[in-house]
Amino acid sequence: MGEEINDNTGTGSTNTNSNETNGEAADGGVKYYTLEDIRLHNMSNDSWLIIHNKIYDITSFLEEHPGGEEVLLEQAGADATESFEDVGHSTDAREMLEQYYIGELHMDDRIKEKTKVVESKDSGESRCVYLDFYKFNFVYLQKRSLGIFVDMLKKGIT
């Protein structure tokens, strides 16, 4: 199933129109779901998860999960990428994901997430701290080399 995906992650190029919401198939048969759509599937008889922008219907897997049903239900209807990665799942576990794949997170919802991360990482405040640090080092080094130069001159004169 996973092979059918035309993964445009990061490009946000062609698949951003509203026709793709609510599970409607776009090009290549890939279905796109919004966060709103996914949020509704948070019950033991209807569980969806987002992992790395892909949507999985894990309803039939709940009872089989080696880590227990509870942890999956806590994440149902939401983005479980972080919890999934925190556990350090094996390659086998990652391959198992394919059989539960049903579609992709809508591009609009991905873009929002990415913007948020970029904003928080690259805050003006942290940039100021770096600039101050470099300015301080620059002035310090200038003074040091000037001192050494003056010393050399003095030694040369005497």
Nearest to ligand HEM of 87, 153 (CB atom): 87
Of 90, 115, 126, 145, which lies in the binding site for ligand HEM, with binding defined by CB under 6 A? 90
Determine, following the binding rule CB under 6 A, whether residue 50 of this chain makes contact with ligand HEM.
no
Tell me the sheet residues that pair with 33: 105
Nearest to 100 by CA among 119, 121, 115, 84: 84
What tokens does 57 get? 């219907």
Determine, following the binding rule CB under 6 A, whether residue 2 of this chain makes contact with ligand HEM.
no
Q: x-or-dash pattern for ligand HEM, window 119-158, by CB under 6 A?
A: ----------------------------------------
**To which residue do tokens 């880590």 refer?**
67
Q: Which stretch binds ligand HEM (CB under 6 A): 19-27, 37-45, 80-88, 105-113?
A: 80-88
* Distance from C-alpha of 81 to C-alpha of 53, rounded to nearest angstrom: 8
Q: Which residues contact 141 (CB under 8 A, 6 or more apart)?
A: none
Determine, following the binding rule CB under 6 A, whether residue 100 of this chain makes contact with ligand HEM.
yes
For the chain, where are the alpha helices, taking DSSP H only?
35-39, 69-75, 81-87, 91-97, 107-121, 124-157
Of 50, 76, 80, 105, which lies in the binding site for ligand HEM, with binding defined by CB under 6 A? 80
Contact residues toward ligand HEM (CB under 6 A) are 49, 56, 58, 61, 65-67, 71-72, 75, 80, 83-84, 87, 89-90, 92-93, 96-97, 100
